């Protein structure tokens, strides 16, 4: 969000995921597709080893089931 705010203030440009479009609307910001670019990214989940909050623990377990370690 901070990088989009900087763009809104005229402080630069940014490359953002397509999922941002329609969810973050600030003045002076236009979203344009980059054609011919098949961008990809990695996403990591970092959490405390001994998490005690039940909702967080359930979320961690769900992510582990749905996205097993790749390349490990």
End-to-end Cα, the chain, rounded Å: 32
Q: Is the pLDDT of residue 18 over 90?
A: no
DSSP per-residue letters across 29-65: ------TT------------TT---HHHHHHHHHHHH
Measure the CA–CA gap between 70 and 42, rounded to whole angstroms.
11
Instruction: Quote the pLDDT of residue 45.
Output: 87
Measure the CA–CA gap between 16 and 33, rounded to whole angstroms.
10
Q: Is the pLDDT of residue 71 over 60?
A: no
Q: Is the pLDDT of residue 13 over 90?
A: yes
pLDDT one-digit tens code per residue, 49-70: 899 999 999 999 999 898 887 6
């Amino acid at each position: 969000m901070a990088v989009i705010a900087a763009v809104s203030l005229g402080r630069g440009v940014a490359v953002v995921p397509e999922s941002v479009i329609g969810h973050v609307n600030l003045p002076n910001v236009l979203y344009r597709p980059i054609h011919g670019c098949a961008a990809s990214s990695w996403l990591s989940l970092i959490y405390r080893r001994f998490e005690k909050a039940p909702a967080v623990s359930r979320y961690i377990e769900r992510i582990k089931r749905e996205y097993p370690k790749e390349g490990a």
